[in-house]
Amino acid sequence: MGVRVKIRLDLQKRIRMLQRSILRGSCDVLKFEIIDNILSGISPVKGQKRFAKYTPRYKSAIRKGKVRSRGERVRGKSISPVNLKATGTLLNSLTCKVQGDRIKIAFTDFVAEFHNVTGPAGRKDKIRRMLPTKKGEEFNISIQITLSKMLDRLVKRTTKR
């Protein structure tokens, strides 16, 4: 006389749960890493290195406290590194959403377009790439390594259950 055991393995459901968990975790990590890179004056886009330096005229305006952002006078702005933090509105506008099996990352502030695509005041030599939006672009190595480590931890934690 044998004993019968019925086990229901719902692998597809577990895989979907793991995928959602990975995407949510990746979203938080990506947002933190992007902002951390920008505040350090480093482009989060692979191959872009440091942001272009401010012009001597703009540096002088910063020292004199004459820099304005959105009509407000900006105080305490750093000259180096170039970190795109004047009022904090631009960096606070970074959004990260999970949509299906993808992550959508975007800056909702209109000023992001100036820095990422056209350059401030239309100066193409001062473009500061903040997101990999062009075909073939990807995040820099430090962000990729951080995401990889986060994925490893999440998979190990999930598979131990």
The stretch 112-117 carries a mean pLDDT of 72
Instruction: Write out the residue range of the structural domain in which residue 59 sits.
Output: 20-159
Whether residue 139 is contained in a domain is answered as yes
Backbone angles phi, psi at 158, to 5 degrees: -70, -40
Whether residue 5 is contained in a domain is answered as no
Whether this prediction's pTM lies above 0.85 is answered by: no
Please count the structural domains in the chain.
1
Whether residue 24 is contained in a domain is answered as yes
Whether residue 12 is contained in a domain is answered as no
Whether residue 2 is contained in a domain is answered as no
pLDDT digits (tens, 9 = 90+) for 121-131: 666 666 778 88
Whether residue 6 is contained in a domain is answered as no
What confidence score (pLDDT) does residue 147 get? Answer: 86
Q: Burial level of 72, CB count in 10 A (0-12/13-18/19+)? A: exposed
